Every structure is written in C-alpha cells, then in structure tokens.
Chain A
Amino acid sequence: MGDRGGGCCPPMDLFRSEAMQLVQLIIPMESAHLTVSYLGDLGLIQFKDLNSDKSPFQRTYAAQIKRCGEMARKLRFFKEQMLKAGFSPSAKSLGETNIGFDDLEVKLGELEAELVEMNANGDKLQRGYNELLEYKLVLQKAGEFFTSAQRSATAQQREMESQQMGDQTLETPLLHEQETTTDLSKQVKLGFITGLVPREKSMAFERILFRATRGNVFLKQVPAEEPITDPVSGEKMEKNVFVVFYSGERAKNKILKICEAFGANRYPFAEDLGKQALMITEVSGRISELKTTIDAGLLQRDNLLRTIGDQFEQWNLKVKTEKSIYHTLNMLSLDVTKKCLVAEGWSPVFATKQIQEALQRAAFDSNSQVGAIFQVLHTRESPPTYFRTNKFTSAFQEIVDAYGVAKYQEANPGVYTIVTFPFLFAVMFGDWGHGICLLLATLYFIVREKKLSSQKLGDITEMTFGGRYVIMMMSLFSIYTGLVYNEFFSVPFELFGRSAYACRDLSCRDATTVGLIKVRDTYPFGVDPAWHGSRSELPFLNSLKMKMSILLGVAQMNLGIILSYFNAIFFRNSLNVWFQFIPQMIFLNSLFGYLSFLIIVKWCTGSQADLYHILIYMFLSPTDELGENQLFPGQKITQQVLLLLALVSVPWMLLPKPFLLKRQHENRHQGQSYAPLESTDETLLSVANNDSHGHDHEEFEFSEVFVHQLIHTIEFVLGAVSNTASYLRLWALSLAHSELSVVFYEKVLLLAWGYNNIIILIVGIIVFIFATVGVLLIMETLSAFLHALRLHWVEFQNKFYEGDGYKFYPFSFALLDDEDD
C-alpha cells in the first residue's frame, strides 16, 4: 500500500506505522528451539497461531509445556519457602552459569525433594517439640491444680476430723462415719483425663461433656497465659488446660471421643507428686535437646534456601523463556514430512535483515544441515500497527491508543498530540507558579527514572510515573501560558517591563477602580498586570480567552481535516479528497474560519463590532445592511458568498460519494458478471465464487452506504457547530482555575495575613498550601487533563482517525517480565 510518506512529506517515523510484511519461516526441526529463542531475543516478529483449532494438550510441544509448568510450580514452592524463612531471592544472580533445560529440571527436582524431606523432618521434630511444650504446660497447670485441690481437701478433712473429734458425743449417729468411708472407697474409682483444648471451643466442649455424661463429670479448666503452637496444625492459638474427672468406663469412652472430636490433645498425668516433678525435669530435658536439633535443621534448611535464592532469579527467567519458546513452537504448524516447522508471522520490513541473520546464526549454532528458509508472503489481510516509540513518545502514543489503535499506516495523531495535548492542557491550567510546582514533581520522577522503573509502584504512582514526560510537557507549557496570563499563584508580576497604564494623577489611591490612562508602550508580553483586580478584569479576560479558544479550536479542527487529506492521498482515495476533504474544508472555514478571521480583524483594528450579531445575522438575514458592524469593505458580499458555499458543500458531501461508489463497484464487476453468460450455469457460479473470494469484497449495499454517508454528513455539519462550541471549555476551565486560585490567595492567605497573628498566619499558610496542592495541583490537573483528552479524542480525531487497527505484539523475551506479576 503506497510508499512511505505518500510522497508528499518527508518520512516521519511516528506519522505512519512501520511497514509490515507477512513472513513465512520454514525451520528444520532440530534447530527450531534455538531459532525461536534467537527470534525471542530479537523481539521483532509476531507469530500467528496456525493451530488454533487444536486444544492446548493436543499440540506438538504440550509435554514440554507441562514440564515447564511443573518447574514453575517448583520455583513458586521455593519462593514461598524463602518468604516463609524470611529472605528474598537476591535480585542479581551470581555468575552466568548456563544450565541446560533438562539439567535444570533434574536439579530443581532434586532440590525440591531435598527441601520437602527437610521440611518433613523439621515438621516432625517441631511437632514433637510442640507436644512436649504442651505436655509441660499440662504438667505445670494440672500439678498446681492437684496440689491446691489436695491442700484444700486435706484442710477440709482435717476440719471435718476435728469437727468429728469435737462433736463425738453420744448423739453422733454411727452411720455418719460409715458414709464418709464409703465415699472414700467410691472416690478411688474416679478416673481423670488431662489435656489441652483450644480456647474458642472450650465452652462448647464443656457443654457437650455435660450433656453427654448427664452432668456426671467434673471439669476444671485453666487458661494458658500465652498462645501455644498446636502440634497438628502448627498454628499459634490460645488454649485451655483441662482436667476432667469421671466415673465409669462408658463415660471414659464418651469423653475420649469428645476429646478427639474437639481436637483436644490428651496427655498422661501422674497423681503422685514425686513422679510429677520427675516428669517435668524429664520433659524439660527433652525439650532443650529437641530445640538444638531443630535449630541445627533450620540452619541447614536456611543454607539450602540461600543457595537456591542466589540462583532463583536466573532459573525463573530461564523457565519463563523456555515456556514462552514452547508456546511459540506450539503455534507453528508441522510440515507434511514432519521434518520442518512452518511459522507465519508479521514483522516490520526493516527487521528483515536482522531476522535473517538470527536464522543463520541459529542454523550455525545448532549444527543444522539446512538453514531456515525465510520468505515474504503476500496477503490482503490487514497487518498490525507498530510504532517505534521511545520513552518520551510512548506515553503520548498511549493516549492515542487508549482511544483506538491506528489502522495500518494511517496518519497517526500521536505526532501532533505531543505538542497540542500539553498546550491545550496549559491553556486551561495557565499559572506559572503551579506550572513550576508540577515541573518539580515530575522532575523528581524523571531524575529517579532508572531506580523507579525497576520497582513496583502503587496504582496511582505507577500511572503518574508512566506519564512523567507528558506531565513535564504539560508543566512547561503551563509555565508559558502562565506567563502569557501573567499569573503566579494568581498574583501578577511586572516581569517584562512596567505596566502600560497609570493613574491620571498622582493622588489616585486605588489604581484598580479609578480610570487609568495609557502612559507607556503596550506591555511587551502577555497580559498587562494592571488588569489584575480591576473592575473590567473579567470582561477583558473572558473576551480574550473565549476568542482564543475559538481560534485554537478552528485551527485544530482544520488540522484534523487536513490529516484526512493526507490519509486520502496515502491510500489513493481520490473520492475522499474531492467529496469529503474539500467540502468539509469549505464548510468549516466559511463559517468558523470566517469567524476566526473576524476575530483577528477585530483585534488588529480595535473595532467595536459585535461578532455574535454578525455571525447570527449572516444566517438570519444575509441581505440586511451591516451598519456599525462593518469591519471591512465588501463584507456583505463576502458573507453571502461564504454562506452560499457552506450551503452548497452540504449536498456536495452527502450526494456524490455513494453514487460514485456504486458506479465504481459496478465497473469493477462488469466484465465478470457478463462474461460467463456464454458458458454453463455451473461455471458461472464457480467464477462468481472465485471472484468473491479472490477480491474478498463485501456485498455492496447501496442503501447502507447512503445511510452511512448521510449520518457522516449530519455528524460533520452538526459537529462543526458543536465542536467549536466545545472548544469554549478551554476558556471555561481557564477561568475556573484562575478564579479558584484568586479565592485561595485572597480569602485564605491575605485574610490570615491581615490578622497580624503568627498562629493565624501559620494556619492560613497551611490551609493555603493544602488547598493549592489538593484542589489546584491535583484536582485541577486531572480535570484539565480530562478535558484536553476529550478535545483530542472527540473534536480532533473524529475528523480523520479510524482507529480500528490492532497492535503489534512481538514475541520477545524482554516483554516476558511484565506479563506474569
């Protein structure tokens, strides 16, 4: 499709997307892996999936992909273990040891087995350790309980005995004594179970015990002070030490089952005090023993993990690249002889040489008998869009791509966006103080670019960082427009000489309200500071900014239409030039171009004419006399001609194109539809089919084309008015910005200053800073950004931009990292 630049302008890299070609590679089986790997290093070819009808596990290299998945799982396991052990994989791997894929698989398998075994051993030890800890706790708590119980029991008994001794009179019934002795004999049969139960379950545990034994148990619980690691789950939890007394075998079974159900760990406990002390010392001894073993095991494991950590990143990268290579290989189709793989893909034309070199190198390095064959295929398929951007232009290209990826080799609005976007932003954000703040913020990002780009940032920071060059341009332009508006945090400065205006006499005190006279030459650059705070400030600035917005808008829309001309020339579409570009230019410029002309004339001549009036009555009564609104001689006849032109251009846009398209279509198929009449019906059909496939044209539906053109025309005609009005947002936002900053400056800072109180002043300054940063620098930046975006997407790009292409995603190892995490 046409040569670069269309022959009308010098080649501009960004203006047209790279010329692409569909290439076919025939790669011998033995060098396929190496070839794809070299191509991945190069990263300039986008492979087409030639096996899309096959499910993933039916493809040639499914087994290898499965192996890669398995290795990736092992690596994830290592990573998890390392995170648990508390050290991160070192970012830089030591030494580039080139380890083969198969060796790596074996090595990973070994390491995993080793680590799993170590973990299992460690877990077993840890479990024993935790059990012992629990046991010790039970011994302590239950021991306390038993001694205290015994003490109180003996005390009670003594009391009772003393009572008995005291009360042993003749009246004492003989039975009483017998009763106590029988009680004692019964007590012997009482069994007990000690253990630990998780605290949150303890209430339910008690309830169930009570219900199951109908209240025939005695449960004593003591909370353990510190959370204990549960031996089974290995989690820290709060637990209660319990002792249950029961009588009878059935109750015991029930209690045991309940204990099991509640995950309560039971531990044997001796009633004898001496034995208890012995157990405690024994348990403590074993605990310290186990502790040293566990520590040694942990040390060993840490060492292993550290050696893994040193090479982790390298392995990870290796596995990722291998996986992507096999994925790519799976997209290639197998030759009939099963000795070659056939690849198809898009690559930029300029990369031809590099790709061929890579192929040769691969063939050489893999000692392959035959080299890979590289050939260019011809196709009618639309190639992907590829712009070679750098870190400066990529953000601007992103702004355009967010609306729609350019059609292949279509004029790219991204080129103009680099200037117009920050400029339109700055028109709305004109304040050189705020501009400097923004510039400083973005310079921070730019200076620390290297460091920040390698680390993970938050959502919003990431976005700001990505657009740092856009913001830099925006801030530079807003410093410029700020100088034009003469605003520094809403305060004007006499930077470029002194104000042209002064009081009529020396006695006038309030220069802003009393009439001024011009005493010097016009202020050389931007708005004269004397306007600030005067009564006529707003009317003056409004009129200025409004007119400026219209000028900018008309200029940008004209640029858009001119770009549609470049597109038409480039794609050799003369219809679009004559029946779209020319009437559109005429329509827009005879109305709003004329308005812009009037504005400039008015500025130059200082006339008092009412432009609204002129424009409105140009439609309503074009024959009326202009009177005082006359700006130049012959204005009336000019207006009549322009109006006529505008009216003529509407049917010009609407009618000829669909009819011409229809004729073109008929011409193209004339020969084919008449010629086969001589032959039989069958050939007619087959030829018709061939034809429709060969040219792959769509059915030409006249009504559809006409309706489409009608919509397009209406959209343009109405759009010309509404889009011009839409550019007035430049004025509105600029006004809002300057008014807000005046409010913050006067009603916060100056007000606080007026109190002559240091505290109020400090509070005032703090409020001022927060308001400036929060509202003006952040909110206003966002809103101005959005409005500039809209002006580009809607008002500018709808004049020429189709945006129905698709992006070029090359197979490249460099892009692998961004994919996963």
Chain B
Amino acid sequence: MYGFEAMTFNIHGGYLEAIVRGHRAGLLTAADYNNLCQCETLDDMKMHLSATEYGPYLQNEPSPLHTTTIVEKCTLKLVDEYKHMLCQATEPLSTFLEYITYGHMIDNVVLIVTGTLHERDVQELLEKCHPLGMFDSIATLAVAQNMRELYRLVLVDTPLAPYFSECITSEDLDDMNIEIMRNTLYKAYLEDFYKFCQKLGGATAEIMSDLLAFEADRRAVNITINSIGTELTRDDRRKLYSNFGLLYPYGHEELAVCEDIDQVRGAMEKYPPYQSIFSKLSYGESQMLDKAFYEEEVKRLCLAFEQQFHYGVFFAYMRLREQEIRNLMWISECVAQNQKSRVHDSVVFIF
C-alpha cells in the first residue's frame, strides 16, 4: 500500500527510527574532522573523541594507544548499537537488519578461507573478522578444502546457504576461486536483498532500490577494473554482475568487453549519475575512483534521512558509521605514521 505506510509505520518502526536518527545525529561533523586532522598524537585524538559519542568506549583505554584499539572500540560501539536495534526490532525490520550484516559475513568467510589457504592461525584470523559478520561456526571454515565441503560443512547452517547454489564446484580453493566466490556470493546477496526490499514496498523499496542499485553498479565497475588483465573470460565476468541496477543490462554488455580503464570510463559516462564521478578523474586514473564512489555513496546515504517512515535509514546509518570508522582509521594511521599531509586523501566527510 504505497503512500499509506505513514499511517502504521510508527506502531513497530517508530521507536527504532527515532533511535537511529538519534544515533545519526551523533556522527562526527566536519568540525570534528578538522580538529581530528590537526591532532599530533593518538592521545590527542582520544582526547578529542572523548568529547564525542565514542567517549565512553575509549575512556578506559590505557594511554599508549594503537590505531587498532581505536578502530576496535569504535566498531564495538557500532556493534552495540546494532545489537540494541536488532533486539528491539520486529518483523520485517529484524530481517532487514540481518540482511545488512550478510555482506560482512561474506567478507569474513572469504577472509578465513583465504587465511587458512595461506596457513595463518585461525584465532588471529578470527580477531580480524568484522564483528557484525560473525556466526557460530565461523571458525570451522578452516577445515574445508574445497567449495563443496565449505558449503556442506559450515555454510549450510548460515543465512548465506542459498547464495551458494551458484558456486558449488569441487575445485580446490585458490585465490582466484575465492575471489570469484566472493563476487558470486555478493551478487546473489545483493539480488536477494533487492528482492526483499521490493517485497517490503513503499518508501523502503524506493530508497533501498536506489542505494542497492548504486552498490551493484559500483561492484560491477570494480569487478571490471580488477579483472582487466586476468584470465577471467568475458562470460565469466558478465556472470558476476548483479542483475539489477542502472547498468543492467546494456551497461553490463559494455563493461564485459572492456579491456582498459578508459573503456570503462567510456561505458560509464553514458549514464548521467556516474558521469559526475568519472568527470572528477583524469584519464587513466583509477586510484581515486574508490574515494569518488564513497563520496557519492555518502551523499546518497545522507539523502535517505530526508524521508521518513522507511527502513532505508537503518541501512544508511550503518553504512555511514562504517565510513566514519574507515575515516577514523585512516586519520589515526596518518597521525601515527606522521603522514599528516595525506590525511585528506581518503577521508570522506559525511556532512
């Protein structure tokens, strides 16, 4: 019932929407970033952050601080907030919130599998996993030798199981396979999430389809750029693109045959929303592309808060917070390594 969700939304979603908007108000502002960028040491950063919402999470850390501690504590805050929201959520919002974490789950699976492939310690790998993408039997992933085992042993119990249907092969795992698996999984995940949002209907569908389409398109571009010069065939590449988004289907045809970054650019510039992103870059440059995409994403995520009575705000908030944590990580790395001139290279201001 499009247009009528405002009438009943607040019964179940009102409290959490208020909560998430409150959290969003706690995101660091440009003034905060300016101050952070001027910090000389990590302790200065701690001092500044202790005046923000991160205060309670950092105040009990002993003084020689490390970048990892800052990032860990900031992530902990996000996880706490997420868990609180998940506790309070009712269907279908709780499913929606769970969908948000699947991306991290995929990353974690890939991380562990790659790690074991290179004979790394499982505990060490587990510490590196994103806490939002944890599931019970994640450590058992180390046992698996090939995709089929991976699926049969561990993933069959997780929400990722349905996404695996496309990539069950008996081939042994190697880096290439894993990367393909990651992208196949991501494709299936995005499509599933997209379908779920369409099913929810109303403003949620409208806003989420926009955000997810952007995500899918960005992945398509990244896959294309990363696969240039590898042995991935055109058809295989084509298979990794999600079946929705602005580029679907004609843009995908073009991307699939691209052989250098300028061809990608040529293909993308036909789409007005992406024109602005590529127009910022000089020819042949792909380094700054990530940042340009992040900036565009942040802009879109912020816009999601302009409308009320939809679930997109939860997705947007989680993404914005993750971006903020990435920013903090970058700033603190720069501060720790005395590379303050490079601070602005990768920081994406949220407001």
Contact = CB atoms under 8 A, between A and B. Distances in A.
B63 A211 contact: no
Interface of A: 55-58, 62, 65-66, 69-70, 73, 76-77, 201, 204, 208, 211-212, 254, 257-258, 260-262
Given A257-B142, A258-B143, A65 B60 contact: no
Contacts of A77: 60
A56 B153 contact: no
Contacts of B143: 208, 212, 254, 257-258, 261
Given A56-B47, A76-B59, A201-B136, 15 more contacts: A55-B35, A55-B38, A56-B48, A57-B48, A58-B38, A65-B47, A66-B47, A69-B59, A73-B59, A73-B62, A208-B140, A211-B152, A260-B122, A260-B139, A261-B139
B322 interface: no
The 6 closest A-B pairs by CB, nearest first: A261-B139, A57-B44, A55-B35, A261-B140, A257-B143, A211-B153
B47 A204 contact: no
B313 to A, nearest CB: 31
Contact of A57 (B39, B139, B140, B153): B39
A69 B140 CA distance: 42
Interface in B112-155: 122, 136-140, 142-143, 152-154
A57 B152 contact: no
Interface residues of B, number: 27
B11 interface: no
Nearest to A256: B143
B70 to A, nearest CB: 15
Contacts of A56: 47-48, 51
Nearest to A58: B38
A568 to B, nearest CB: 43
B40 interface: yes
Nearest to B59: A73
Contacts of A69: 47, 50, 59
A212 B143 CA distance: 8
B43 interface: yes
Contact of B63 (A65, A70, A254): A70
A70 B140 CA distance: 41
B48 A261 contact: no
B142 A208 contact: no
A70 B142 CA distance: 41
Contacts of A57: 38-40, 44, 47-48
A55 B35 CA distance: 7
Given A55-B35, A57-B39, A77-B60, A262 B140 contact: yes
Q: Which of A212, A257, A261 has the most CB of B within 10 A?
A: A261
A542 to B, nearest CB: 44
Given A211-B153, A254-B143, A204 B136 contact: yes
A262 B139 contact: yes
Interface in B148-187: 152-154, 157
Say what secondary structure dominates the interface of chain A.
helix
A212 B38 CA distance: 54
Q: Report which residue of A55, A201, A208 has the largest number of chain B beta carbons within 10 angstroms of its beta carbon.
A: A55
B122, B137, B154 interface centre (most CB from chain A within 10 Å)? B137
B122 A212 contact: no
Q: Which of B38, B44, B140 has the most CB of A within 10 A?
A: B140
Nearest to B116: A257
B140 A258 contact: yes
B122 A261 contact: yes
A204 B156 CA distance: 12
A143 to B, nearest CB: 29
A208 B47 contact: no
Nearest to A77: B60
Contacts of B140: 208, 212, 257-258, 261-262
Contact of B47 (A62, A76, A201): A62
A468 B334 CA distance: 57
Interface string B42-57: 0110011011000000
Nearest to A80: B60
B43 A66 contact: yes
Contacts of A208: 137, 140, 143, 153-154
A58 B143 CA distance: 53
Contacts of A76: 59-60
A51 B115 CA distance: 51
A25 to B, nearest CB: 27
B125 to A, nearest CB: 11
A91 to B, nearest CB: 24
Contacts of B152: 211
Nearest to B141: A261
A58 B39 CA distance: 9
Nearest to A74: B62
A288 to B, nearest CB: 32
Nearest to A207: B157
Contacts of A65: 47
A212 B148 CA distance: 12
Nearest to A260: B122
Contacts of B60: 73, 76-77
Contacts of B136: 201, 204
Given A70-B63, A73-B60, A73-B62, A55 B142 contact: no
28 contacts: A56-B47, A56-B51, A57-B40, A57-B44, A57-B47, A58-B38, A66-B43, A69-B50, A70-B63, A73-B59, A73-B60, A73-B61, A73-B62, A76-B59, A77-B60, A201-B136, A204-B157, A211-B152, A212-B140, A212-B143, A212-B153, A254-B143, A257-B140, A258-B140, A260-B122, A261-B122, A261-B142, A262-B139
A55 B45 CA distance: 11
A55 B34 CA distance: 10
Contacts of A62: 44, 47
Nearest to B142: A257
B116 to A, nearest CB: 9
A73 B122 CA distance: 33
A639 B125 CA distance: 94
A258 B122 CA distance: 11
A57 B43 CA distance: 9
A257 B126 CA distance: 14
A278 to B, nearest CB: 33
Contacts of B63: 66, 70, 73
B279 to A, nearest CB: 35
A416 B145 CA distance: 85
B233 to A, nearest CB: 34
A204 B143 CA distance: 15
Contacts of B59: 69, 73, 76
A204 B60 CA distance: 36
Contacts of B153: 208, 211-212
Interface in B3-45: 35, 38-40, 43-44
Nearest to B136: A204
Contacts of B122: 257, 260-261
Nearest to A254: B143
A219 to B, nearest CB: 15
Contacts of B40: 57
Nearest to B153: A211
Nearest to A200: B136
A258 B44 CA distance: 44
A70 B60 CA distance: 9
Contacts of A258: 140, 143
A498 to B, nearest CB: 64
A73 B60 CA distance: 6
Contacts of B47: 56-57, 62, 65-66, 69
B295 to A, nearest CB: 25
A212 B35 CA distance: 53
A260 B122 CA distance: 9
A57 B44 CA distance: 6
Contact of B137 (A55, A254, A261): A261
Contacts of A73: 59-63
Nearest to A112: B62
A204 B153 CA distance: 11
A66 B39 CA distance: 14
